[in-house]
């Protein structure tokens, strides 16, 4: 018997974004874990900073007023983190920066030429990633935000 991949569904997240400083709506892909119980696992990297990271498990319900599955609460954290990067130096190539982090196993999704959201997997030592982030910020190449840092990654910094 072939192993069936979990069904991917779109889920609506409505939250206050500290990055945009406003109420924000974002739809993201999630794997269906148990549709009867409304349990899903995030399969996207959030762009605007909700307090959720890829592979976190959460509850979503279909809400009539939203006309779609809508995030309710996290039930299990993956240990992954999300960092948002906004490139401020016009001569800097976003893809070069993304490749540098990808070499550290940090995948990212680009929003436009100067902005991307990056996943920091639980197994990655965040201290190494953070030193690169700080170096680039100090050199006026980009600004970054840490909307969702896991307990594990906070401990890496101690």
Please tell me whether residues 52 and 96 are part of one structural domain. Answer: no
Could you give the CA distance from residue 27 to residue 110 in angstroms, rounded to a whole number?
Answer: 15
pLDDT at 6: 79
* pLDDT tens digits, one per residue of 23-68: 999 999 999 999 999 999 999 999 999 999 999 999 999 999 999 9
Give, in degrees to the nearest 5, the angle at Cα 105 between 102 and 108: 50
- Give the HSE-up count for residue 145: Cα atoms under 13 Å, Cβ half-sphere: 18
> 3 pLDDT band (50/70/90 cuts)?
low
Could you give the CA distance from residue 34 to residue 59 in angstroms, rounded to a whole number?
Answer: 10
Please tell me whether residues 100 and 145 are part of one structural domain. Answer: yes
Specify burial of residue 120 (Cβ count, 10 A radius: 0-12, 13-18, 19+).
buried
Q: Which domain holds residue 45?
A: 8-76
CATH of the domain at 124: 3.30.70
For the chain, what is the domain count? 2
Please tell me whether residues 18 and 33 are part of one structural domain. Answer: yes
Please tell me whether residues 146 and 130 are part of one structural domain. Answer: yes
Helix (H) or strand (E) holding 75: strand 68-76
Helix (H) or strand (E) holding 95: helix 94-102
Specify burial of residue 157 (Cβ count, 10 A radius: 0-12, 13-18, 19+).
exposed
pLDDT at 4: 72
Torsion of CA 99, 100, 101, 107, to 10 degrees: 10
* pLDDT tens digits, one per residue of 61-118: 999 999 999 999 999 999 999 999 999 999 999 999 999 999 999 999 999 999 999 9
- The verdict on residue 60 lying in a domain is yes
Please tell me whether residues 68 and 32 are part of one structural domain. Answer: yes
Give residue 108's Cα distance to chain centre. 8
């Amino acid at each position: 018997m072939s192993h069936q991949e979990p069904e991917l569904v779109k889920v609506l997240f409505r939250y206050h974004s500290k990055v945009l400083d406003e109420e924000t709506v974002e739809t993201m892909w999630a794997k269906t874990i148990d549709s009867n119980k409304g349990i899903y696992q995030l399969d996207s990297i959030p762009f605007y900073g909700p307090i959720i990271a890829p592979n976190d498990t959460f509850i979503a319900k279909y809400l009539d007023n939203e006309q779609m599955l809508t995030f309710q609460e996290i039930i299990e954290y993956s240990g992954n983190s999300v960092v948002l990067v906004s490139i401020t130096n016009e001569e800097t190539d976003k893809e070069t920066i993304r490749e540098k982090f990808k070499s550290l196993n940090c995948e990212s999704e680009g929003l436009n030429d100067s902005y991307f959201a990056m996943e920091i997997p639980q197994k990655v030592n965040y201290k190494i990633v953070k030193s690169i982030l700080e170096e680039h910020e100090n050199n006026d190449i980009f600004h970054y935000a840490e909307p969702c840092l896991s307990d594990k990654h906070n401990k890496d910094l101690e």
